Amino acid sequence: MAQALLEVNGLCKNYGERRAVDGVSFQVRRGQTVGLLGPNGAGKSTTVSLICGLLRRDAGNVLLDGQPVGEGDSAAKRQIGLVPQDLALYEELPAIDNLKLFGALYGLKGAKLAQRCQDVLELVRLADRAKDKPATFSGGMKRRLNIAAALLHEPALLILDEPTVGVDPQSRNAIFDTLEALKAQGRSLIYTSHYMEEVERLADHIVIIDHGKVLADESPAALHARLPAQAALHVELAAPADAALAAAVQLLPGVARVEAQGAGLDIGLSGTDAAAPVLRWLDEQGHKLVHFATARSKLEDIFLTLTGRSLRD
């Protein structure tokens, strides 16, 4: 098993009587992408700020490569690259000059700085816009420039706090491509989001947080194993589906849950192999099928199982 690069131990943060982060602990191993998942207001951004030493902790500690990450300047803190939720750019300064400024703050200069600026612009697909001002960029392009700035000093750990909020689909895909390239290079990442599909695409380990507490700290496979329903079957019928039909379907082998909505049935299954018997039974009972579709259960289902509420609440 790869060695832990980042160790987060018992982090707590209070705002008056409200505890925003309540004993958060997890690890990030070398080359691992950890998805920090939770609804808005769950404590993700506060946890990120505590990890980076931007906020004073009320309890707990953070170690990067065995060295403490404090609140002041430290060698460990300089091994972290942060892409904040709020954009941090000088809108009227050309993209290349933004990067030169941030690079100088990291202690880069001369040919080394020039080469790093070129490398990160190419990575985020903005090399052709190097001399343009961020004020002329789309929201997604600004996000990509922020990622470039966070990579200038070649950090051991890159933390991205909700990097796709408010970006267009094309830029979102460009961000994903960049992060997948970083993964292929063996870079360690923390990716916070309340979008399940993003974390499912990128992460090989998932930490679910809600109300400042860690609810799960597992691989995607282990999380899916928690669900009573491992697959989903959606059926559209020619006639409305009532409660009596839903109750009858609930009794069939392999059925974990059933919800009737208009002419549709949303059925949770123990596995995809349970779908065919359910469809056959509906046909035998005279219920005409207009359409059906199967799918694997998603992180949204896991979150609902753990908390009883939606990730986007």
Query: Do 214 and 106 belong together in one domain?
Result: yes
C-beta contacts of 263-267 below 8 A and 24+ residues apart: 263/236, 263/237, 263/238, 263/239, 263/290, 264/234, 264/235, 264/236, 264/237, 265/233, 265/234, 265/235, 265/237, 265/241, 266/232, 266/233, 266/234, 267/232, 267/233, 267/234, 267/235
Burial of 114 (0-12, 13-18, 19+ CB in 10 A): middle
Query: Do 132 and 261 belong together in one domain?
Result: no
Query: Do 180 and 269 belong together in one domain?
Result: no
Apex 61 CA angle, 57 and 63, nearest 5: 135
Query: Do 284 and 146 belong together in one domain?
Result: no
Domain boundary among 192, 224, 256: 224
Residue whose entry in the numeric block shows the structure tokens 């961020």: 134
Quote the number of domains for the chain: 2
Query: Do 265 and 166 belong together in one domain?
Result: no
Within a domain: residue 101?
A: yes
Domain boundary among 191, 224, 257: 224
Query: Do 278 and 150 belong together in one domain?
Result: no
What per-residue confidence (pLDDT) applies to 308?
65
DSSP letter at 288 equals: -
Q: Percent of the chain, pLDDT > 70?
A: 93
What per-residue confidence (pLDDT) applies to 97?
97
> What CATH number should be reported for the domain holding residue 274?
3.30.70.2470
Within a domain: residue 305?
A: no
Query: Do 152 and 240 belong together in one domain?
Result: no
Q: What is the pLDDT of residues 123-144, one digit of tens each?
A: 999 999 999 999 999 989 999 9
Query: Do 147 and 197 belong together in one domain?
Result: yes
Cα(39)–Cα(62) distance, rounded to whole angstroms?
A: 24
| pLDDT tier at 229, thresholds 50, 70, 90 | low
pLDDT at 117 over 80: yes
Q: Percent of the chain, pLDDT > 90?
A: 67
pTM: 0.80
Query: Do 240 and 146 belong together in one domain?
Result: no
Instruction: Give the distance from CA 246 to its chain's centroid.
Output: 34
Within a domain: residue 304?
A: no
Q: What is the pLDDT of residues 164-213, one digit of tens each?
A: 887 888 888 889 999 999 999 999 999 998 887 888 889 999 999 999 99
Within a domain: residue 311?
A: no
Give 3-state DSSP helix, strand, coil % of the chain, rounded to 5. Answer: 35, 30, 35
DSSP letter at 309 equals: S
What per-residue confidence (pLDDT) applies to 223?
84
- The pLDDT mean for the chain works out to 90
Q: What is the pLDDT of residues 94-111, one digit of tens each?
A: 999 999 999 999 999 999
pLDDT at 84 over 80: yes
Residue whose entry in the numeric block shows the structure tokens 């941090």: 88
Query: Do 186 and 210 belong together in one domain?
Result: yes
| pLDDT tier at 221, thresholds 50, 70, 90 | confident
Within a domain: residue 185?
A: yes
Within a domain: residue 309?
A: no
DSSP-based three-state secondary structure for 200: helix
Query: Do 134 and 253 belong together in one domain?
Result: no
Q: Which domain holds residue 256?
A: 231-296
C-alpha neighbours within 13 Å on the C-beta side of residue 194: 17
Query: Do 205 and 255 belong together in one domain?
Result: no
> What CATH number should be reported for the domain holding residue 202?
3.40.50.300
